[in-house]
Structure formats: C-alpha cells, structure tokens
Amino acid sequence: MMTRHTQVVTPLGELTVVADGDAVTGLYFPGHTYLPDAALFGERVETAGDGLLATASTQLTEYFSGHRKTFDIAVATHGDDFSEKVWAMLRQIPFGETTTYGALAGRLGNPHLAQRVGQAVGHNPVSIIIPCHRVVGADGALTGYAGGLERKRRLLELEEPAEITDSRLF
C-alpha cells in the first residue's frame, strides 16, 4: 500500500491523518509546529475507501465524543532510538492522567534529560493516539504542544476525571 492521507473533522480543528501501508504514521493539527512537507502525505483519499483511515477516523470521533479512552490502531513512528523510547513511554500514560518531562527522564535513568525528552515529545508524529498532551511541566503547567497549548488544554479537559470536572465552579 502507498502513503496516503485523509482529513478528520474534530472539535479542535481538521486533523490530517497520514498512513503508510497498514499503519498510521502521522496525525497533525492545522498549524502544527513540526508539520512535515505535505508532499510526504501522499494522495488524499476518502475514509470510506480505506479501511485503516476509516478506523482511525472512527476512533478519533469516538475519543472526542467521550466514548473511547484508548486507541487500538497500528502506528509506525520511525524515530531515532531515544525518541522511540520516549514515545513508548507516552503510550503507557493512562487516560485522564499526566506525567512530567522530568519524570519521563527519570524513567530513562537520567533526570537531566528532561529537555531532550521534551524535544522528543514535541516531535511525536502521531499526536493524540500517542498521547503527548498528557505530559506537563514540573509544576503542572501546560508547556509545549505542537498542536498549540489551547488544544492541549482542551484534550486534558476532555480526559479530566468527572469528580474534578464536577467540582469546578465555572
């Protein structure tokens, strides 16, 4: 199969979902900070004619509607060894939870790697499915998100446990 892409309409904007063969290889917001050259996305296809992209579209729609907490779709990332280790750790962060760049660096054996971890998180090619939005600053502040901080905030709110949402005054 060839590299191809489709557009998925979401509450946070139209996402570009890129696939190569039988795996999703990219998921990008409009204005994504590290957006690859669109020529690398291949032909634009309709989801109805592509089982993988149809499944990705369905799962993203379910996620945004609050009916999906995990994704079970094949993903291929093609990063260097360090990035692949970081992206594997991102996949382990449960829905509704967050961690910090420093905590991830500590899990890699060196808490001084937090900035390098941040670079790998920022270059995650399959945002949302590999949940890089679940990584926050050491003080809990929203920092760095290739799709924009407002989108990161909204993704975290979408995943927020009901008891926290219900306790808000506004």
* Rounded-to-integer distance, Cα 3 and Cα 76, Å: 12
59 is catalytic: no
Which of the residues 18, 132, 135, 146 is marked catalytic?
132
Q: Could you tell me which of 135, 138, 131 has the C-alpha nearest to residue 111?
A: 138
**Helices marked H in the chain — which ranges?**
51-64, 81-91, 101-107, 114-122, 149-159, 162-167
Residues annotated as catalytic (active site), given as ranges: 132
